[in-house]
Every structure is written in C-alpha cells, then in structure tokens.
Structure 1
Amino acid sequence: MSGHRTAVDERSASISPYTGWTRSEWAALADHLLASAWQHASPTGALITPPGTPGGYGTAVDGLEGFARTFLLAGFRIAGEHGRDPHHLLERYAAGIAAGTDPGSPERWTTPREHGQAKVEAASIALILDLTRPWLWDNLDPGVQQRVVDYLAQVVGDHTYPQTNWVWFRIVVEQFLASVGGPWSPDDIAADLATHESFARDGGWYCDGPERSYDHYAGWALHLYPILWSRMTGAQAQAAPLLPEYTRRLDRYLLDAVRLVGADGSPLIQGRSLTYRFAAAAPFWAGALAGTGALAPGLLRRAASGIVKHFTDRGAPDADGLLTLGWHHPWRRIAQRYSGTGSPYWASKGLLGLALPAEHPVWTDVEQPLPVEQADQFAVITAPGWALSATAADGVVRVYNHGTDHARPGDRSTDSPLYARLGYSTATAPAMDDDGWDCPLDQSVVLLDTHGEATHRSGFTTLDVQLLGGDAAVLASRARCRWVKPDRNAPDHGSGLPGDAVDAATVTTVSVVRGAWEVRLVHVDPAGAPGWDQVTALRVGGWPVPAGVADDRSTPVLARPRPAADTPDARTDPAGTPLSEGPAQPVAEAVGTTLTSTAVGLHGLDVAGVHTVHDATPLAERTAIPWLQARPGPTAWHIAAFALNGGAPAPLAQISGPEDAPVVRVTWPDQVTTTAALPAPPTGPHHHAQNRSSAA
C-alpha cells in the first residue's frame, strides 16, 4: 500500500507541481461531498436538506436545492466515467426524481409555478438528465418520464423570469423538453438568447442584468451556460452560429479571470453568492469544454485546482463533509435572502471538469503557474470599471473599482459592501456586519454628519478607467453622495437597499494606482445639496485586514512623519508652497495576521486612525481598517495614499494645471512618476464658482 501511495504522490508532483491535485483528488472530493450530502436525504431521496437554519425560502426549497445541486455533481461524475457508477448514484437519483415529480408524494418538489427558485433548480435537473441520458433518462419508467416533462413544462411561456442569468434556466429546460418531445417554445428560447446578448460588454465580460452587476456570475453562469447548452441534445443547429462568438468572449474573459486568482487559490472576495465558493472554478472548465485557445489545459487545471484546494485546505467542506453557508467556515452573514442550507452546493459547478474523461488534456497536461506566480500583473478591465494589480511577492490580487455597484447610474440606494467598495482583493473581505452595510468605512469615501452617519455613493457616474503606461492606471467616478434611511423590508439579493435620501454633496473620487499603492484624490462640491450644513467630516477608508490582536478601540493618530521624497518639488502645491512645511502627514497602519494596510494623508487630511470591527468578515474574528479624516474643504482636493502590503515610503502627489483641467503628478516609492488628468469640476445646476486658492 505504501509503495502505491508513493507512486501516486510522485505522479501528482510531476503532473501537478503547484497543487498536487490530479483527477483522483477531484474524484475523491466529489464522492465525499455526495456521500455526506446523502446522509441528509429524505426517505425516497427526493429532497436533500443539509442541517441548519432554513433559508429565506423555506425548508421545502432548501431540500429541492440540495437534490438538484448535488445532482449536478453526480451527473458530472457519471458522465466523465462513461456511465460507470460504483456508488449507485443513478439508482438513488432516479428514485428521487420519481418521488419528487409525483404530486401525491409527501416528498414532492416545489414546482416552478409555486416558487421562482424551482425554476433555477429545474435547470440543473434538465442539464443532468440530458448529460446522463443513456444511463438515467432512457431507463426511467415512461410514467416517471411524463411526470418530469409535466414538471418542467411549467416554465414554458412563463414571463416572470428575471432578466438576468435566469434566462438560461428557461433555455436549458426548454431545450431538454424539445429533445424528449415535450412542450417548448422557440419564441421563449429566441427571446432569452436575445436577452443574453444584451448582457455582453467589452473584453468578453457579461453584466448580470441591466444594473452594473459584475461579479462571479459572469463566469459561473453567463459564460458557463452557453457552452453547456450548445452541447445539449438538439441544440446544435441553433447554437452553431452563436457558438463562435460565445467562445470568443469566453477566451477573452479567461485572460482576466485567471489573473483574478490569488497565488493561494482564493477567488476575488467580491459580489453576491460567495457561499458558492469554488463555483468560481467553473469558467476554467467551461474553457476546457469549449476547447479554448486562450489558456493552456495545464493552466486551466491549475486555476481550478487552486480554487478548490483553497477551500478544502481551510475547512470547506466541514468535518461532516458538508458545504455550509459560509466561506472557509460557517458564516451566515455571507448569505443572501435566497440562500438556504442546500444553496452552497452550486459549488458543484466548480467540479464540472469531472465530466471530461481522464484522457482529456486538461487532466493529462502538466500544471502551469498562475499569472501572479510568474510576475506582477497589471491590467485595466473596462467593463466592470476595474484596475487589477497583483503582486508576485505576496500572491495577492487587488482590484480597484470605479464601475461596479449593482445599481444604475443615478440610483439612490445604500452601498452594498459586496459591490460598491473602491477596492477588493483575494486576501481581504469587505466588512459585512450591520455597520458595513449602513455606514461604509473600508475602501470608502464618505461624508459624516453630526451623529457619525456616513453617506452612500451607489449610482455614481464613472468618469475614467484608463491605463497609464504598462503598470499604472487612473480611475475616476463622481457621486451625488447622500445619507439614506434604508428600507429594511426590501429583498436582500446582494445589492444596496432603497430608502429615503438626503443629499450631502457631489463627491469626485480619483484613484491613481500602481503596484500595491493607490493615490486617492477626493473633491467635494456642496452646491445645491440640502444636507451640506450637516456635514462634519470627510472620511476615507483603507484596506480591511484580518487581525489577530484584540483591540476594541478606534484610535486617532494626529500625525506621524513619513520619509520625504528625494525631489524638492514633490511636496508643493500648484503655487509652489512646500506641503511638507505644514504638520507632519497623518498615518494609520493596521498590521494584520499576514497583511499590512496603510493609510497616509498626503494633503488636506489631518487625522488618522485604525478601527477594529468584530465578526464583520468571514476571514477572521477581528478586522482592522485604517482611516483618514478631515473637515472637508469645499472645492479642495484632498489626497491620500493607501496600500495593502505596500511598505515604505508612501507615494507623493501634487496637482497643477488650470482649474478646468487639473493634472496630478504622482511620485511612487521607487521614484517613477505618473501623470494623470483629473476630472474638471462638476457642472450643471448645482455647480458653483470654486475658490482656486483652496485647491491642493
């Protein structure tokens, strides 16, 4: 036995030098997940309901999700083994299907007409019935087959599908119905395909609906389903003219997606449904299915294996083999209203590669290093309004965000910490406690009122997302910031909440980024804002880092000197006044368990501190957030520098040029300089003349 294990280990090391994972490890994980989930099946197997507090849609929906989402995984496992089924999964799921579609069964499934979530689960059932057709569907009793058709047919002609990734749930169900002689509507499929086209954005990206909703759904839904649908029985004729464009977009998207994976395998901690965890590996397997030429098979597997192994090494699945509502460990705050105990098994999408046979190149080629393991990475991703900066020294991928908020321009909702923060990374998580939703601090720019309440900026206008040379970028956005009294009864689907709003000011925010550093410039214009007289402070927040030291305080630091730049003019304002002659720069440094988050006030910010929050992220019990603050000078540019593992010294910045075309010159720690145009002051009915002498 030991000799066999040594041989296996040697093969794993030779074919998978980065993760050590081969198809054997993937198969073992799938079998473990399925066996553990089935411990919580109903007597017939129609419902699989993992333990825990029921989700917002109730226990019946939880049980349907548990069945349908583990059915995805079972189907991938069986298809990749050409129908071999040593664990008798086909028999179990066949019995569950028979009972679930029986209207008289006490274990019957919630139907699509009864609850919208059943439309989602119907798609997983249809996909796997098609994928395992010769071994499962073809062997079902004709009466059961008819009941399946009757159950799925409830989606035909249904006009209540959300115009998001949900359109694919109807497409795949009706495609299966068409293949078995059931009712279906060519008009439904045509309309849904057209809606999907409306989601297409630059660079191969998809937006999940009409809002600026850029997140993991771009990969694990909107890129995945077109490839799966194109392979379904009977879809080839309709898919053939569309598939080249779907594949081209996927190829381009994968170039960004692979750079968004941290060296430790963590996906970007941004967006809703994060409890689906390693579903983030799905687009890499979609690439393998589609025969992508964008990434080599060994790199596709390296990315997917890294993501899955990231979680299995850190507690997911748990000691009972279950995927709980959480991230590494159970953490229910990460869930949305639609999340139930069966929901996390959409992670099954991340194991799609098991549907590919062992001889496929994605399993036989040697792993290749991730981009961040090869060198520092820098890119602008236009569609979501991001600049990506990954550093090989620590393996962390950072995203600076001026284009995504899960809202439309002009919306007046609260900020969602999952979408509207100015930065996200693979090593930090936004604060998601009550204060994180109501009073943004980390990676934010807010105005505070006399009670310490913070403004929100969702609905902002993106002004600029531009690469400056090969390793720097400028991003800018402008928002009518306001205080919002949120409607607590609004559905929680990951976005901000609507509510009564009072405008505080128009705030323009600019990020000039390079490496681990961001220079953030903030301009406040109070013109026409009824709440301006309530403003007491401008606060800008930095990266939230997992912290191991108990500290319940938010300690202000008035000033702490920083190393001066070598160039004599680096700290002068446009009039030539040396900025260094004033008070020393305020600095706040949050030293976490493995990361350091730094905030430095370069101009117009006079107080700094570190705030510690508790149980606010899934990464640690305590999270430390540095911040800077000042009384906002209307028409002034306030300048700060923020870093995640940036080291010292900080960058320096100066503004010059005419009032209507200002320019910032940033001197980075290595003395490289970057020059970027700043947005002109806001114009329109709320514009007022600016006092140029107050600009920095």
Structure 2
Amino acid sequence: MSSHRTAVDEQQASLSPYTGWTRTHWSALADHLLAAAWRHASPTGALITPPGPPGGYGTAVDGLEGFARTFLLAGFQITGEHGNDPANLLERYAAGLAAGTDPRSPERWTTPREHGQAKVEAASIALILDMTRPWLWDNLDHGVRDRVVDYLAQVVGDHAYPQTNWVWFRIVVEQFLASVGGPFSPDDMAADLATHESFARDGGWYCDGPERSYDHYAGWALHLYPILWSRMTGAQDRAAPLLPTYRQRLDRYLLDAVRLVGADGSPLIQGRSLTYRFAAAAPFWAGALAGSDALAPGLTRRAASGIVKHFTDRGAPDDDGLLNLGWFHPWRPIAQHYSGTGSPYWASKGLLGLALPAEHPVWTATEQPLPVEQADQFAVVAAPGWALSATAADGVVRVYNHGTDHARPGDRSTDSPLYARFGYSTATAPAMDDDGWHCPLDQSVVLLDTHGEATHRSGFTTLDVRALDGDAAVLASRARCHWVTPDPAALDYGSGLTGQAVDAATVTTVSVVRGAWEVRLIHVDPAAAPGWEQVTALRVGGWPVPAAPAEDRSSPIDAPAHPQPASPAAGPGLPVAEAVGTTLTSTAVGLYGLDVAGVHTVRDATPLAAHTAIPWLQTRPQTGWHAAAFALNGGDLAPLAQISGPEDAPVVRVTWPDQVTTTAALPAPPTGPHHHAQNRSSAA
C-alpha cells in the first residue's frame, strides 16, 4: 500500500511538476461536484436547485440551470470514459429529461417560449444529448424523445435572441434537432453564423456583441461553441468551410489567453459572469479538442489545471461540495442580478477536458511552465485595447485598458467596474461595491463635483494602442467625462447603467507602460462642457490590493487630503501614496500637477478580501497635462516623466527605474492649443 502510494505520487510529480494534477484529480473533482449537486435534486431529478436565495429569474429557472449545467459536466465525463457510468448518471438524467419535458409534471421545465434563459439551458441539453448519443438518446423512450424535440423546437424561428454569444444557443439546438429528424431552419442557422462572423476582431479575438464587450466570453463561448458545434452529428457539411477560420482564430487567441493566466492559476479578474470561475479553462480544452498546435499539450494542461486548482485550493467548491455565487467563497456582488444558485455550474465548461480520453496527449504529456513562469511577458492586444505586462518575479499578469468598456463610442452610461477601469490583473479585483459602481476610485481618472460625485468615461474614443521599443507600450483614449444619475429601474447585466448624464469636461488619458509601472498622463479640456463650473477636483486612482484590517488608514476621498511625505519610490517633494496589502504593494506617485495623495480602504468591495486598499492622487484641475505613476509591486524606485513640445504636438519622455527611456507622442488637445509651449517634468 505504501509503496503503491509512493509510485503514484512520483508519477504525478513527474507528469505534473507544476500543479500535481493528473486526469485522476479532474475526474475526482467532477464526481465530487455532481454528487453534491444531486443532493439538491427534485424527486424526479428534473430540477437541481442548490440552496440559497433565488436568482432574479426565479426558482424554476434556477432549477433548470442546475440540471442543464451539471448535465454538461456529466456528459463530458461519460464521453471521455466511453460511456462508462459507475455513478448511474445516465439513468438519473434520463429521468430528469422525461419529467422536465412533460407539461403535466409538477417538475416540468420553464420553456424557451416562457423565458429567454431556457434558450441558454436548452443548448447545454442539446450538446450533451448529441455528445452522449449512443448511451443516452438512443436508449430513451420514443415518447420522451418526442417531448424533448417538442421542447427544443420552440427555438426555431424565434427572433428574440440577443445578438451576442446567444446566437450559438440556437445554432446547437437546431443542429441537434436536424440530426434527429426534428424541425430546424437553415435560415436561422445561416443568420446566426453570419452574426457570429460580425463579432470577429483582430488577433483571433471576438467581441460579445456590437458593444466593446471583451471578456472571458471570447474564450468560454465564442471560441468554444464553434468547435463543439463542428463535432455535432450532421454539422460537418455546414462547418467544413468555416472550421479552418475558426481554428486559425482560436490558435491566435490561445497565444494571448495563456499569457493572461497568473502563475498561481488565477484568470484575469475582469468582465461579467466571474462566478463561472474555472470556465476560464474552456478555451484551452477547445484548442485540444480542435487539434490546435498553438500550445503544446503539456502547456494546455498546465494552464487548465492551474486555473481549476486555483479555486479548489481556496474554497471552491465549498465544504458541501457546491459552487456558490462567489469567487473563492460566497460573495453575491460578483454575480449579475439574474444569477441564481444553479448559475455557477457553467464552470462545468472548464472541465471539458474530461471528454478527451485518458490516452489523449493532453493527459499524457508532461506539464510545461506558463509564459509568466518562464520570463516577464509583454504584448499589445489590439482588439480589446489592452497592453499586457506580466512579471515573473511575482507571477502577476497586468492588463492596461484603453479599449474596453462594454459600451459604444459616444454612449453616456456609468462605468462598469468590470470593464471600464484602466487596469486589471490576476491578483487584484476592481471594487464592486456601490461606490465602485457609482463613484469610481480604483484604476480611474475622474472629475469630482461639489458633492464629491465622480464622473464616468464609458463611451470614450480609443486614440492609440501600440508597442514601443524596449518592451513598452503607449495607449490613449479620450472621454467626454460625465456624471450620471442612473435610471432607478436599470438592472445589472454587467455593463454600465444608463440614466441622465451631464458632461463635465473632455479628458484625454495616456498610459505609457513597462513592467510593473504605468505613467498615466491626463489632459483636461473644459470646452463647451455644461458641468465644468461644478468641478472641484481631478482624482486618479491606482491598483486596489487586498489588505489586512490594520491597513485601514483611510483618507477621506470626498474631502481635501494632505500631501504625504516622499518615499524611496518618489523623487524629492513628490506626493506619494503606498497601499501595502497582504501580499501586494500598490504605489501612486504624483509626477506633475497632482498635489495631494492618500490611501483609501474599503470594506467588502471585492471577493478577494474583507478589506481593499487603494492609493489615490488629487488636485484642482487646470487645463493642460497632469502626470502620475502607478505600480503593482513596482519596487523602490518610480519612473520620471517629462512633457515637452508645443501644445498641439506634445511629447513625453519617460525614464524608468532601470534608466531605460521611452519617448512617445501625446495626442493633441481636442480643441487645439490653449497655452504657449512649455516644459513640464517630474522632479529628477
């Protein structure tokens, strides 16, 4: 017994030197998740409703989600085991299908005609009925099959599908219907495939709809479903001419996706539906399923295992084996209003690898290190308007954002903390409490009015996103910054809230980034802004870091602050604020035109810790440029910046802590020059 255990441990260590996880661990996790979920099944098994307050769509939808999303996981596992089913899941899900599609059953499912969310869940059901066809569908009673077809057929010809990743929910359902002789519409499928094409962007990325909605849906939906669909029964003829393009995009996307995984396995904490957690591993498995060679099999498993293990090591699933609405632990604000207790089981997508048999190279290859484990990483990701900078010393991946806000140019909504911040990382989470939604502080540039209300920038125009020499990048955007009084009836779908907006000023923001540091330059132009007379301050915020309660040395952010003493990170006389967190340090240094600094600590604002510390800088704004430096684990020395040249063609020269210099042209002011040429620099 002891010698056998030692041999197994040695095999795991040699096969998986980074995570220790093999296919056995994945299978055990699936067993654990399914056993726990089934403890909350209805008598027939048609509804699986984990405990907790109902979601915004009600308990009936919650129970349907619980069935459909765990069905995904069961189907992946049974497929990879070639139909072997020791837990008797096929029989249990078959009974649930029979009752859920029976209009007379007290456990009948909400139908697609009754509620849009049923269209989402119908897709999961259709996918797994196809994937497990020889072991489940082919053995169902003919009456049950007819009822399943009738249930799914409600989507045919339905014109109420959102023009987002939802188009795939109709494609896969109609594909299954076509394969079993049910009704389907070639016109529906052609239209939905064309809509999907409209989402394609540079670098293999997809945008989830017409807005600038770049998030994990690019991977766990818009790259995943084309691959799954192409493998469905009868899809080959329609998919064949499209599949090379889908694969090419996926190959390119995976090169960015793998760089977005932190050394601790954390995915980027950005975008909606974060409570799906390790669904972030889905695009890596999609690559393996598609036969992609963009990533080596050992790197694919390293990324996927790292993501899943990141959560299982930190409390998800919980002690009862359940995936709750949260991140590591229950935390309802991370979810959207519609999310219910069954919703988190879309995490099942991240376990798609179980559909690959044990002999597949992705399971037999030795793990390879993530990019951030090999060396510092730097890349410009053009489609979402990001610069990616990862540091091997701490394993943290940072993204600087001038292209994503889940809005269209010219929109005047509030900023969603999930999309519109200037920076995101694998080690920090944006503040998502009420103030985080209504009065941005972390990773923000805002104007404050006489009541301390902050402006928003959603609807901005992206001006520049490009790499510079020396592993640096410059990004720029311009916003008609506005205060918003949200519509009280507006619901949280992850994007900003609409309402009555008042313009405060045009604000141009430029980020010059390298390594752990960002030099942020801000130009304020009040021309023709009706709210300018109400502006009392310009405030810029830095990285939010998880902090211990003792870190609560908050300075009020709606009242005048006091200059902080200089620290080793800043030159003489420069205002500096340093938030020392539990494992991270967030630094803000005023380089030019920012007078005061502070650290504000908020409680219960992120799912990572009870306390979050945010450094900030502030001044009474003047027309012209202001400059600051921000870092997450930036070290003891800050960069310096010098702005020179005429007002209509300014240039910034940044000297980094290692004395490397970067020069970048700054955007001309939107209304032309206001001042004579001048030199402005931070203290040397």
Matched, 1:627 2:616: yes
Please provide the CA RMSD for this pair: 1.2
> For the residues of structure 2 that align with 1:83 and 1:430, how far apart are their CA atoms?
43
TM-score normalised according to structure 2 size: 0.98
1:161-184 per-position Cα deviation (integer Å, ceiling 9, x unaligned): 000000000000000000000000
User: 1:332 aligns to what?
Assistant: 332
- Do 1:562 and 1:650's aligned partners in 2 also have CA atoms closer than 8 Å? no
User: 2:573 aligns to what?
Assistant: 584
Q: 1:615 aligns with which of 604, 624, 643?
A: 604
Matched, 1:599 2:588: yes
1:354-411 per-position Cα deviation (integer Å, ceiling 9, x unaligned): 0000000000000000000000000000000000000000000000000000000000
User: 1:669 aligns to what?
Assistant: 657
> For the residues of structure 2 that align with 1:691 and 1:414, how far apart are their CA atoms?
35
User: 1:130 aligns to what?
Assistant: 130
**Structure 2: gaps spanning 5 or more residues:** none
- What does 1:257-272 align with in structure 2 at a 5 Å threshold? 257-272=257-272
Do the aligned partners of residues 178 and 564 (structure 1) sit closer, same or farther apart at CA in structure 2, a change above 3 Å counting?
closer
Q: CA deviation at 1:690?
A: 3.9
User: 2:68 aligns to what?
Assistant: 68
Partner SS, residue 484 of structure 1: strand
User: 2:311 aligns to what?
Assistant: 311
- Do 1:378 and 1:470's aligned partners in 2 also have CA atoms closer than 8 Å? no
Q: CA deviation at 1:661?
A: 1.2
- Do 2:411 and 2:458's aligned partners in 1 also have CA atoms closer than 8 Å? yes
- What does 1:284-433 align with in structure 2 at a 5 Å threshold? 284-433=284-433
- Do 1:422 and 1:444's aligned partners in 2 also have CA atoms closer than 8 Å? yes
Partner SS, residue 519 of structure 1: strand
> For the residues of structure 1 that align with 2:374 and 2:679, how far apart are their CA atoms?
45
- Do 2:61 and 2:110's aligned partners in 1 also have CA atoms closer than 8 Å? yes
> For the residues of structure 2 that align with 1:691 and 1:3, how far apart are their CA atoms?
80
- Do 1:541 and 1:626's aligned partners in 2 also have CA atoms closer than 8 Å? yes
- Do 1:488 and 1:497's aligned partners in 2 also have CA atoms closer than 8 Å? no
- Do 1:562 and 1:584's aligned partners in 2 also have CA atoms closer than 8 Å? no
Partner SS, residue 507 of structure 1: strand
Q: CA deviation at 1:337?
A: 1.4
Matched, 1:558 2:559: no
Partner SS, residue 348 of structure 2: helix
Dislocated runs of 4+, deviation >6 Å: none
> For the residues of structure 1 that align with 2:391 and 2:114, how far apart are their CA atoms?
49
Q: CA deviation at 1:92?
A: 0.2
> For the residues of structure 1 that align with 2:553 and 2:341, how far apart are their CA atoms?
33
Partner SS, residue 554 of structure 1: coil
- Do 1:527 and 1:688's aligned partners in 2 also have CA atoms closer than 8 Å? no
Q: CA deviation at 1:9?
A: 1.1
Q: CA deviation at 1:691?
A: 5.4
Q: CA deviation at 1:563?
A: 5.4
User: 1:104 aligns to what?
Assistant: 104
> For the residues of structure 1 that align with 2:464 and 2:155, how far apart are their CA atoms?
42
- Do 2:547 and 2:609's aligned partners in 1 also have CA atoms closer than 8 Å? yes
> For the residues of structure 1 that align with 2:197 and 2:678, how far apart are their CA atoms?
50
Do the aligned partners of residues 688 and 486 (structure 1) sit closer, same or farther apart at CA in structure 2, a change above 3 Å counting?
farther
Q: CA deviation at 1:688?
A: 7.2
Identity %: 86
Matched, 1:185 2:171: no
> For the residues of structure 1 that align with 2:554 and 2:673, how far apart are their CA atoms?
40
User: 1:680 aligns to what?
Assistant: 668
Partner SS, residue 5 of structure 1: helix
- What does 1:133-152 align with in structure 2 at a 5 Å threshold? 133-152=133-152
> For the residues of structure 2 that align with 1:503 and 1:691, how far apart are their CA atoms?
27
Partner SS, residue 619 of structure 1: coil
Do the aligned partners of residues 411 and 564 (structure 1) sit closer, same or farther apart at CA in structure 2, a change above 3 Å counting?
closer
Amino acid at match of 1:554: S
- Do 2:445 and 2:538's aligned partners in 1 also have CA atoms closer than 8 Å? yes
- Do 1:254 and 1:294's aligned partners in 2 also have CA atoms closer than 8 Å? yes
TM-score normalised according to structure 1 size: 0.96
- Do 2:389 and 2:398's aligned partners in 1 also have CA atoms closer than 8 Å? yes
> For the residues of structure 1 that align with 2:612 and 2:133, how far apart are their CA atoms?
49
> For the residues of structure 1 that align with 2:457 and 2:16, how far apart are their CA atoms?
45
Partner SS, residue 40 of structure 1: coil
1:451-490 per-position Cα deviation (integer Å, ceiling 9, x unaligned): 1000000000000001002410000000000110011311
Partner SS, residue 654 of structure 1: strand
Amino acid at match of 1:671: Q
- Do 1:502 and 1:531's aligned partners in 2 also have CA atoms closer than 8 Å? yes
- What does 1:52-91 align with in structure 2 at a 5 Å threshold? 52-91=52-91
> For the residues of structure 1 that align with 2:58 and 2:406, how far apart are their CA atoms?
26
Q: CA deviation at 1:552?
A: 5.9
User: 2:534 aligns to what?
Assistant: 534
> For the residues of structure 1 that align with 2:677 and 2:145, how far apart are their CA atoms?
76
> For the residues of structure 1 that align with 2:537 and 2:287, how far apart are their CA atoms?
49
Q: CA deviation at 1:3?
A: 2.8
Q: CA deviation at 1:549?
A: 3.0
- Do 1:481 and 1:504's aligned partners in 2 also have CA atoms closer than 8 Å? yes
User: 1:572 aligns to what?
Assistant: none
Q: CA deviation at 1:18?
A: 0.2
> For the residues of structure 2 that align with 1:484 and 1:559, how far apart are their CA atoms?
32
> For the residues of structure 2 that align with 1:201 and 1:421, how far apart are their CA atoms?
21
Q: CA deviation at 1:296?
A: 0.3
1:639-680 per-position Cα deviation (integer Å, ceiling 9, x unaligned): 000000001210000011222111100000000000001001
> For the residues of structure 1 that align with 2:19 and 2:158, how far apart are their CA atoms?
45
Partner SS, residue 39 of structure 2: helix
Partner SS, residue 195 of structure 1: helix
Q: 1:650 aligns with which of 634, 638, 647?
A: 638
- Do 1:505 and 1:532's aligned partners in 2 also have CA atoms closer than 8 Å? yes
> For the residues of structure 1 that align with 2:616 and 2:608, how far apart are their CA atoms?
20
> For the residues of structure 2 that align with 1:505 and 1:269, how far apart are their CA atoms?
30
